[in-house]
Structure 1
Amino acid sequence: METGDQHFDILVLPEINLILVASVIEPLRAANRIAGRELYRWTLHSPDGGTIETKSGIPVPVAGAFRPGRETDPLFVLASYNWKRHATRELKFQLSQTARHRSLIAGIEAGSFILADTSLLDGFSATTHWEDFEDFSRTYPQIDTVRERFVIDRKRITTGGSLPTLDLMLELIRRAHGYSLALEVSRLFIYEQERTRADLLQMPSVGNMRILDARVQAAVKLMEDTVEAPLSLARLAKRSGVSARRLQHLFREIMGVAPHEHYLALRLNAARRKVIETRASFADIATETGFNSASAFSRSYRSSFSESPSGTRRRLKTKAISAG
């Protein structure tokens, strides 16, 4: 599942929301940090090469003006307010030309309007911010407009706002590098205090899924608390107040994976942190994350992360020596 490093071109239009830019970049940065390698790179552009002034007054520096040639890397077009003012005839011509070569083009929030206005969404399914949905669908009847947080349709992507964009990036990470990495990235953006029953509807996002079922939430919390000694599905289900079969169904429906897949991802992510951050033996790490043996741990680790635990440490040691 691991692929080579991926580069994104990011075109940022003026009057952007700062959080929208962060929603694209921060999951990629986090994935690099967690993986301990450069899985993702990105280059920011503005229409004229000038620093972008965000609506919050915090400037976003860019590498230069958007002057595409025959690049094939994915292109993300980010826009928030007054997109018509900034989507000049020249910019739309550039987008139309570069679309011939790009592996995909994403319209992020109001960026979906710019792609639609350039006829780059004709015949595709797409979405946009909920406040603009009716206007978008009425203005562009040739586009199959759907009420989703984000839409991936062949070589086109559209999102409905900042948090849906974060969900999109987690989904792209999952598709490229697996559920374990996407889960760990998502957990970096979750702020949780001790919950009471009144908090049950204030759930974190995991990819594009929101845990709105108290029974699934209870099972996930149990998994997080029992990484060292994993519970059987039957015990998880009983303590979560549901049958094992029903829990399987709920996990598939809400989380998109089976309970054992989520459980294993939690344990492997805990193990990878220990591999990277401690000098503990692999046998001890295996025990501390619920594996029967170091060999079983090593097999699961390699299957998920495309390298052995010793390979991770060796690579990071080499990187540290080179940096020194």
Structure 2
Amino acid sequence: MIGTFADEQHFDILVLPETNLILIASVIEPLRAANRIAGRALYRWTLFSPNGQPVETTAGIPIPVSASFRPGQETDPLFVLSSYNWKKGATRELKFQLSRTARHRTLIAGIETGSFILADTSLLDGFSATTHWEDFEDFSTAYPQVNMIRERFVIDGKRITTGGSLPTLDLMLELIRRAHGYSLALEVSRLFIYEQERTRGDLLQVPAIGKMRIVDTRVQAAVKLMEETVETPLPLARLARRAGISARHLQDLFNDVMGVAPREHYLALRLNAARRKVIETRATFADIAAATGFNSASAFSRSYRAHYRESPSDTRRRLKAKT
């Protein structure tokens, strides 16, 4: 299931009327960005509506769909998106279709009030779940058979639920991380930085991967140093000293806040910078290695292959073949 996806993963996306435009984008745009950064189709998706007609969003902008939702025995993950008036869209026919398709799906996700639709169809019985914070108490009262958790998103086996648009973005970054690694998820997140904090006149970037939220100023300082020293990586002890804490404390903070060790985040930054150079320039691999803190082209190539499942040469050959 999650974390064991093939190189190309397909999602079915069912969009109900009165869904927020940003909610739809929060699902699709990270997948599109992952494809663009990877230089190949890691993800595909098909949009459905209950009746096959374009979905009227709350912004008044209709979203075209491929077809009406008439599931058979598809096994691809299914995302059910809903924002307002979910009861109006959760017809008896739709709930029957969801119940039937759930027997075959590798997972079903209730996005925002899509969680209500799954619960009303008994598809969350016995699972842990979440929903938008404004609806949390109402949900808990209406569906006591669901174990409600106050989180931005919850992944519990074959069920996923989210609490809104930005938590859904967090979720998609987490799914990308599980399927394709921290480096790609980090690079995608840097395209969707939506929390910023001003300190001493600097605009600090605050990326988000999964449930990661950099709120500790010492971790922020260490991340900023890493971004500024991609070419000449600093030892952990020096990073920690400049952040005002011990190396062990920084290690613990990173694991708590980011979910990874400092060296893993540092390496991801360097590899992402290297990958951009592989794709966007004609620089030699030796020059790219030197520019991103690797002591040799062979060491760079080994690390690149381990993270991206292809060598730098493979990347360039594949992209050249597409032109």
Q: Which category of TM-score, normalised to the shorter sequence, fits these structures?
A: over 0.9
Cα distance in 2 for residues equivalent to 1:287 and 1:194: 32
Cα deviation for residue 21 of structure 1 reads 0.1
Report the number of matched residues.
Answer: 320
Are the counterparts in 1 of residues 218 and 244 from structure 2 also a CA contact under 8 Å? yes
Cα distance in 1 for residues equivalent to 2:72 and 2:196: 49
Partner of 1:158: 161
Cα distance in 2 for residues equivalent to 1:283 and 1:202: 30
**Which deviations, in whole Å up to 9, do the C-alpha atoms of 1:130-188 show, x marking residues without a partner?**
00000000100000011010000000000000000000000000000000000000000
DSSP 3-state at the match of 1:3: coil
Q: Provide the alpha-carbon RMSD of the alignment.
A: 1.7
Partner of 2:83: 80
Cα deviation for residue 203 of structure 1 reads 4.1
Partner of 1:102: 105
Cα deviation for residue 4 of structure 1 reads 2.0
Query: Of 64, 67, 75, which residue of structure 1 is paired with 2:67?
Result: 64
Cα distance in 2 for residues equivalent to 1:72 and 1:135: 32
Alignment of 1:215 with 2:238, yes or no, is no
Alpha-carbon spacing, 1:198–1:151, altered in 2? closer, same or farther (3 Å): farther
Alpha-carbon spacing, 1:201–1:269, altered in 2? closer, same or farther (3 Å): closer
Alpha-carbon spacing, 1:217–1:61, altered in 2? closer, same or farther (3 Å): same
DSSP 3-state at the match of 1:205: coil
Are the counterparts in 1 of residues 197 and 205 from structure 2 also a CA contact under 8 Å? no
Cα distance in 2 for residues equivalent to 1:273 and 1:15: 39
How do residues 101-140 of structure 1 correspond to structure 2 at under 5 angstroms? 101-140=104-143
**Which deviations, in whole Å up to 9, do the C-alpha atoms of 1:251-282 show, x marking residues without a partner?**
00000000000000000000000000000000
Are the counterparts in 1 of residues 30 and 169 from structure 2 also a CA contact under 8 Å? yes
Q: Which runs of 5+ in 1 are unaligned?
A: none
**Which deviations, in whole Å up to 9, do the C-alpha atoms of 1:94-124 show, x marking residues without a partner?**
0000000000000000000000000000000
Partner of 2:48: 45
Cα distance in 1 for residues equivalent to 2:204 and 2:120: 38
Cα distance in 2 for residues equivalent to 1:2 and 1:17: 28
Cα distance in 1 for residues equivalent to 2:101 and 2:202: 47
Cα deviation for residue 206 of structure 1 reads 3.2
Cα distance in 2 for residues equivalent to 1:130 and 1:237: 36
Cα distance in 1 for residues equivalent to 2:197 and 2:78: 40
TM-score by length of 1: 0.96
Cα distance in 2 for residues equivalent to 1:202 and 1:302: 28
**Which deviations, in whole Å up to 9, do the C-alpha atoms of 1:202-234 show, x marking residues without a partner?**
944233211000000000000000000000001
Partner of 1:5: 8
TM-score by length of 2: 0.96
